[in-house]
């Protein structure tokens, strides 16, 4: 800790896109106060924006804190933010005395005040879960790349028995419609071509009358915005209005991340997922009926307590039945304080490892096949970053595939039409046709 006000800052993010969004907003707050972003090694203030969703997250944070100590024995001002902060609370500064600030995901708008308190020799903890206060307190969006995140909803009321989110992010809460349209417009004015709407249960966004489909239709009318995406969704919140938007809102990209977690009804019930294998498959059918080319992705957990070999086979079979373009799969990790952590029948690591390998092999096959199917197709690509080769840019197809293009004269943020001329298992190569929008 130092008694001078920090002049430079560094935000290190762990975990999900919500943390990426929160990290950007923290950086904007300090930049608006005249502080400069810098490398972790040189920064006067380091914010660790942590994740608690799976194994060893807290341990990683403690070892990172240790590494922040400088050669002369001093440390920067250290703030631990995010879900580990919420879950561990004041225990963090007890275990790591270098930590000056512990701030939960709903209280980070108070970071500048907390940093000022540290300069006066105080250390502070704020784990309030007040809901929407922080958004009003944050500065207007002024800087973005071509793709931007916009948090529309936070928290979760679903209480899946394996998950810490309802405890670390609090209850489901939706930001007001007008505020979101304003933030989206500000992002587009600052250069965003694509906006991804974020929320732990993004499709639970709404105010009783409007659902996420309504919000997407409002954003569709913003000139200069070309692409809209959203994640992560819960099957039970997949309203007819939102499904219909997939059929007729052109800017809504043909991609849906809809986790099912497991394919067996007994396991789904033990997970408290409140949907069944069949109800999930029926939703997929409805979405495909309005948007046949939609790319589907999902999340899976293997080795949930009590999962038998036969029940795991049901997970493989729902993957075969659904057919994904990509999916995330995880070994069950007991989270302190969640009901599943103390359930009988915890699965041995070796068994879960073997299941994970089999599931991942199947998902990789499906991903490669999905990519192969785009070979020879003509599609648009939003250029996001430079590639490794001279004159090469990398962008995303509507289906969220990475596309490499040799594109002298083009810039990041351009949207171009290409023919897909090569399809590898993980990425595609495109040949330029013409520029659609700049």
Q: Is the peptide bond before 232 cis (omega within 30 degrees of 0)?
A: yes
Strand partners, 81: 49, 103
CB of 180 to ligand 5AD, least distance (A): 23
Half-sphere exposure (CA, 13 Å, Cβ side) for 361?
6
Binding mask 214-253 for ligand 5AD (x = CB under 6 A): ----------------------------------------
Q: Is 38 annotated as a binding residue?
A: no
Q: Which two tokens stand for residue 77?
A: 């001002």
Q: Is 432 annotated as a binding residue?
A: no
CB of 55 to ligand 5AD, least distance (A): 8
Q: Is 370 annotated as a binding residue?
A: no
Which among ligand 5AD, ligand SF4, none contacts residue 200 (Cβ within 5 to 8 A by kind)?
Answer: ligand SF4
Q: Is the Cβ of residue 205 or residue 304 nearer to ligand 5AD in the bound state? A: 304
Which of 45, 301, 420, 423 contacts ligand 5AD by CB under 6 A?
Answer: 301
CB of 19 to ligand 5AD, least distance (A): 12
Burial class (CB in 10 A: 0-12, 13-18, 19+), 349: exposed
The answer to whether residues 107 and 26 touch, using CB atoms and an 8 Å cutoff, is no
Q: Is 160 annotated as a binding residue?
A: yes
Binding mask 150-179 for ligand 5AD (x = CB under 6 A): ------------xx----------------
The answer to whether residues 430 and 405 touch, using CB atoms and an 8 Å cutoff, is yes
Q: How many residues bind ligand 5AD (CB under 6 A)?
A: 12
Residue 87 phi, psi (nearest 5): -75, -40
Q: How many angstroms separate the CA atoms of 382 and 147, rounded?
A: 9
CB of 165 to ligand 5AD, least distance (A): 7
Site for ligand 5AD in 254-293 (CB under 6 A): 259, 261
Of 66-74, 77-85, 181-189, 325-333, the segment contacting ligand 5AD by CB under 6 A is 325-333
Chain position whose Cβ is nearest to ligand 5AD:
299
Q: Is 212 annotated as a binding residue?
A: no
Q: Is the Cβ of residue 156 or residue 215 nearer to ligand SF4 in the bound state? A: 156
Which of 217, 234, 277, 331 contacts ligand SF4 by CB under 6 A?
Answer: 234
Of 4-12, 136-144, 163-171, 209-217, the segment contacting ligand SF4 by CB under 6 A is 163-171
CB of 65 to ligand SF4, least distance (A): 27
Q: Is 344 annotated as a binding residue?
A: no
Binding mask 191-210 for ligand SF4 (x = CB under 6 A): ---------xx---------
Of 38-46, 264-272, 328-336, 355-363, the segment contacting ligand 5AD by CB under 6 A is 328-336
Site for ligand 5AD in 329-348 (CB under 6 A): 330, 332-333, 335
Binding-site residues from annotation for [4Fe-4S] cluster: 16, 51, 83, 156, 160, 163
Q: Site residues (CB under 6 A) for ligand SF4? A: 156, 158-160, 163, 165-166, 200-201, 234
Q: Site residues (CB under 6 A) for ligand 5AD? A: 53-54, 162-163, 259, 261, 299, 301, 330, 332-333, 335
């Amino acid at each position: 800790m130092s008694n001078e006000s920090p002049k430079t800052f560094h935000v290190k993010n762990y975990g999900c896109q919500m943390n990426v969004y929160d990290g950007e907003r923290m950086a904007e707050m300090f930049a608006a106060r005249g502080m400069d972003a810098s490398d972790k090694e040189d920064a006067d203030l380091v914010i660790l924006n942590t994740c608690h969703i799976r194994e060893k997250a807290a341990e990683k944070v403690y070892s990172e804190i240790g590494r922040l100590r400088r050669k002369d024995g001093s440390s920067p001002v250290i703030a631990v933010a995010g879900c580990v902060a919420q879950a561990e609370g004041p225990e963090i500064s007890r275990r790591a005395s270098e930590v000056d600030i512990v701030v939960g995901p709903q209280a980070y708008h108070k970071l500048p005040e907390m940093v000022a308190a540290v300069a006066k020799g105080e250390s502070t903890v704020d784990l309030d879960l007040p809901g929407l206060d922080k958004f009003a307190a944050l500065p207007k969006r002024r800087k973005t790349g071509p793709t931007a995140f916009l948090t529309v909803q936070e928290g979760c009321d679903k209480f899946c028995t394996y998950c810490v989110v309802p405890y670390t992010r609090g209850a489901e809460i939706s930001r007001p419609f007008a505020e979101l349209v304003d933030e989206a417009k500000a992002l587009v004015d600052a250069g965003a071509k694509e906006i991804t709407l974020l929320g732990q249960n993004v499709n639970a966004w709404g105010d009783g009358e409007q659902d996420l489909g309504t919000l997407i239709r409002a954003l569709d009318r913003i000139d200069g915005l070309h692409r809209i995406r959203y994640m992560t969704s819960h099957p039970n919140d997949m309203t007819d209005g939102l499904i219909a938007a997939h059929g007729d809102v052109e800017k809504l990209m043909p991609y849906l991340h809809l986790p099912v977690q497991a394919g067996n009804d007994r396991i789904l019930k033990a997970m408290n997922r409140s949907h069944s294998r069949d109800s999930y498959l029926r939703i997929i059918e409805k979405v495909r009926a309005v948007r046949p080319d939609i790319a589907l992705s999902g999340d899976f957990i293997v080795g949930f307590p009590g999962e038998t070999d036969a029940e795991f086979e049901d997970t493989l079979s729902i993957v075969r039945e659904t057919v994904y373009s990509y999916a995330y799969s995880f070994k069950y990790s007991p989270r302190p304080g969640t009901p599943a952590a103390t359930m009988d029948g915890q699965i041995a690591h070796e068994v879960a490892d073997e299941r994970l390998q089999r599931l991942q092999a199947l998902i990789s096959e499906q991903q490669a096949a999905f990519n192969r199917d785009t070979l020879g197709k003509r599609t648009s690509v939003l250029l996001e970053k430079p590639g490794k080769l001279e004159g090469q840019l990398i962008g995303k197809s509507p289906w969220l595939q990475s596309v490499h293009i040799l594109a002298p004269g083009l810039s990041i943020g351009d949207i171009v039409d290409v023919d897909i001329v090569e399809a590898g298992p993980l990425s595609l190569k495109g040949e330029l046709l013409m520029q659609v929008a700049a």
